[in-house]
Amino acid sequence: MSIMSFPRVMQAATGRVAGGIAVMKKQQSEIESLVHRLFAAVNAGDWAALGALAAADCASSGLPFIGPPALVAPFMELRGALPGLQLLIDDLQVHGDEATVRYHGAGVHEGFFGSIPPSGATVRLQGAEVLRVAGGLVRHRQPYLDRLLLVQQMTDPRQAAAAEQPVPGEIVTRFDPPVFLEGVLAAADGTVFVTPLHEGTVYRVWPDGRREPFFHVEAGHGPWNGAWCMVAAADGNGFYLNVNSADPAGHGVWHVDRSGHGRVHAVLPPHTIPNGIARTAAGELLVADSTGCVWRVRGLGQAEVWLRHDWLAARPWIGRFPGANGIQVWSDTAFVTTSDLGLIVAIPIAADGSAGPPRIFAENVGGDDFAIDADGTLYVTTHPFNQVIRIGQDGSRAVIAGPAQGVVGPTAAGLGRDAAGRRLLYVVTDGGMFTLPECEPVPTAAQTPALVRLRLD
């Protein structure tokens, strides 16, 4: 090759490369257009248009269909359950004949999803599709969608409608996010004890908002480890505290005296999740175990299962909220919230302290911990629903507090009195860590864990 012909060769090679790039760009553009048309058809519920984008031999991983049904059927199922579903593309990458799409969407559960009846829940989803394209049509589909999360959202406990009867409220003290306040106990001297779940610390809070550490236990760093709920000791010497500890010797119920010194009172098996705690008229302790039972702790710390029942357990395999959660005693009856089922269960306490046959006291209550007044009125915190609900023994309900009073992610409630003897309800919150999508949006500034004081008189 002569030196004079070299530029012509280079020019030809450059032309071929440029031509190849142009072909690749054209193919990429065509595949991107196909993906956008696919999502537009899904969002419009236009199944004919969607089916026209599938090759005759189109297949979808995990489905027995061939051809257009392989592309249409899964999206038709989704929109059948969530009729208003709109999917938005977050990211689209094309490599050769393959497109990878990430998307998100939301819709209201208004139709059957398999055998799951409509719940009215707002369902959020995220997913991805890997699509292989040939001849301008989808030839293979590999979906990535968390169906378990869909089922969980569709079957989560629902909150029954209740009248709005707000009471005055104020924030006593705030904690820095992401603190998860879990327990609250009002003392006779007007101070309040609160427990940030994962710290293992009990704080003492004065009416003016001042606070200081009162007791600390090293509980480990697992998802459940820390100091949980409290109940006053019958003799007035401090309180009993549930501790979920990584150390089996410290896992169970502790007694913390009025000086802030603590010791193990009753050891529970390591697999348990001691949550709420209450005291019976006989002075025994009842501990709500979120794995599905209630424990009875006798005077010297002997623990035994008091009642195990399906109504106290979370949904098998798909439960994402606790089973037995809060527990309180009134008139020889123990009341237990089962968060994952949306139940409040009433359990008679027999003369010998044993459990009688349980009954459902209330349904469709997304209850966490709660307080119970002398007349049997329950004040139930509803954690992801951002409400405190008052429930009478006759079943009447009213929402008495929400975000306007600082109740954002309420986890526990305790009754107290001010210096004039007026009734107060103290509520602790986590700042809305688990607020459900159907709840009213809460301003960021209000999303702080707090101790809230509500005035009942």
pLDDT per position as a tens digit, 88-97: 999 999 999 9
Q: Are 171 and 260 in the same domain?
A: yes
Instruction: Please report whether residue 405 resides in a domain.
Output: yes
DSSP string, 238-279: -EEEEEE-SSGGG-EEEEE-TTS-EEEEEE--TT--EEEEEE
Count of CA atoms in the C-beta half-sphere (13 A) of 102: 3
Q: Are residues 182 and 138 in the same domain?
A: no
pTM of the model: 0.87
> 183, 230 in Cβ contact below 8 A?
yes
Residues 70 and 150 in one domain: yes
Residues 206-251: pLDDT tens digits?
Answer: 999 999 999 999 999 888 999 999 999 999 999 999 999 999 999 9
Cα dihedral 93, 94, 99, 103 in deg (nearest 10): 20
Let me know whether 259 and 111 are in one domain: no
Per-chain mean pLDDT for the chain = 94
Amino acid at 353: G
In this structure, the answer to whether residues 318 and 382 fall within a common structural domain is yes
pLDDT digits (tens, 9 = 90+) for 9-63: 555 545 555 555 666 688 899 999 999 999 999 999 999 999 999 999 999 999 9
pLDDT at position 8 is 60
> Considering the domain boundaries, does residue 255 fall inside one?
yes
Considering the domain boundaries, does residue 62 fall inside one?
yes
My answer on whether 136 and 236 are in the same domain is no
Q: Choose the final residue of a domain: 138, 155, 172.
A: 155
Same domain, 106 and 230: no
Regarding whether 232 and 139 lie in a shared domain, the answer is no
Helix (H) or strand (E) holding 333: strand 333-338
Cβ count near 148 (within 10 Å): 11
Residues 193 and 333 in one domain: yes
Task: Count the Cβ atoms, other than its own, within 10 Å of residue 345.
Answer: 22
CATH number at residue 93: 3.10.450.50
Note whether residue 1 is domain-resident: no
- Last residue of a domain, which of 155, 189, 209? 155
Q: How far apart are CA 453 and CA 432, in angstroms?
A: 17
Examine residue 220 and state whether it is found in any structural domain, yes or no: yes
pLDDT for res 447: 87
Distance CA 132, CA 110 (A): 32
Structural domains of the chain, count: 2
In a domain, residue 379? The reply is yes
**pLDDT at position 242, please?**
98
What pLDDT does residue 309 have?
98
Residue 259 covered by a domain: yes
Q: Residue 292: give its domain's CATH number.
A: 2.120.10.30
Boundary of a domain, candidates 155, 183, 210: 155
How many other CB atoms are found less than 10 A from the CB of residue 373?
16
138 and 82 fall within a common domain: yes
Q: Is 17 left (phi over 0), alpha (psi -120 to 50) or beta?
A: alpha
Banded pLDDT at 436 (limits 50, 70, 90) = confident
pLDDT for residue 142: 97
**Interatomic CA distance for residues 328 and 383, integer angstroms:** 17
Per the domain annotation, does 2 fall within a domain? no
- Does residue 138 share a domain with residue 244? no
Q: Does pLDDT of 5 surpass 90?
A: no
**180-194 mean pLDDT:** 97
Provide the 8-state DSSP code for 319: -
Is the per-residue pLDDT at 389 higher than 60?
yes
Query: Domain range holding 279?
Result: 162-455
Cis peptide before 117 (omega within 30 of 0): no
Cβ-Cβ contacts under 8 Å for 360 (sequence gap 6 or more)? 311, 343, 344, 345, 346
Q: 238 and 382 share a domain?
A: yes
CA distance 416 to 418: 7
